Amino acid sequence: MPIKIQSDLPVKEILEKENIFVMDENRAVHQDIRPIQILILNLMPLKEETELQLLRSLSNTPLQVDVTFMAVESHESKNTSISHLNQFYQTFPKVKKRRFDGMIITGAPVEQMAFEEVDYWEELTEIMDWSESHVTSTIYLCWAAQAGLYYHYGLKKRPLEHKMFGLFWHKVLNRRIPLVRGFDDVFLAPHSRHTEVPIEDIHACPHLTVLAESEEAGLFLAMADGGRKIFVMGHPEYDRVTLDGEYKRDLNKNLPIDIPKNYYCNDDPDSRPLLTWRSNANNLYTNWLNYYVYQTTPYDLEGTPHFSDI
């Protein structure tokens, strides 16, 4: 089934070439079903790259998904053109009166700063508060997961001696919970971060249920409030060459960086990386859309006073 986007979004052509079913507004309005309304708060600097990754991830579902992109007002993007932001992105004041079936908050390259020092922290906390009554289920990715765990439950992050970088093995816990339905017992997933929330602190928090973790990388997946909050510490949306690009970027900048673990064949950066995490990543987003969005959200979004009453 299709994912609905604006007809002139630049990544549309790439998705169509990959045989991902996308449709524009004109075609969508002639279908007599209500599309699932998903809001993506994109905090990444290279917004078009993240758009493509997340739209790929959301496309493997029989549901029609209507995506709205949002950017923060309190930060000036230096890596995405103003024309692209003006054409394809909303700001919080423009969407705050709407309700959404689901929301994704991306990571951001600010993890080594204190949360309160991030220039859009106040705006982000307002958005997280707003989501409690206007969004059925929210996924927090990587830095956003750390931010959400800190803001909602007071769990602090800590710096790592070495960047958690590469593909790491994880084991599935609480297999009966639908969010991990179809996952293998152990699976690889990408991480790329300088900080972590200690796994022992997460297990000790009574509000959180850990669904997947790694002996080496710590938390991968946890949920709270019956799936209304989902925390993903890694980057399941990454494509084949994302880690490769990050590695070679840091090398070119003479930054300290180790070769990404379990990524290149024979640890050879000149080899084509194997794509070993896509199936479980697709499972994650498909399960989220089906069990925690579509099966939970009301048909009439505007007629529901508060999602907290669901």
Helix (H) or strand (E) holding 262: none
The question of whether 203 is a catalytic residue gets the answer no
Hey, is 239 helix, strand or coil? coil
Round to whole Å and give the CA distance between 91 and 244. Answer: 32
Round to whole Å and give the CA distance between 52 and 10. Answer: 9
Q: What stretches of the chain show up as alpha helix (H) in DSSP?
A: 12-17, 25-28, 47-58, 82-88, 92-95, 121-134, 143-153, 199-204, 242-252, 278-287
- What are the DSSP calls for 101-132, one per residue? EEEEE---S-TTS-GGGSTTHHHHHHHHHHHH
Choosing from 48, 111, 196, 237, which is the catalytic residue?
A: 237
Choosing from 152, 170, 191, 235, which is the catalytic residue?
A: 235
The question of whether 16 is a catalytic residue gets the answer no
Choosing from 134, 142, 196, 213, which is the catalytic residue?
A: 142
The question of whether 25 is a catalytic residue gets the answer no
- 104 has which bridge partners? 40, 139
Burial 41-73 (b: 16+ CB within 10 A, else e): bbbbeebbbbbbbbbbbbbbbebbbbbbbbbbe
- Give the active site residues: 142, 235, 237
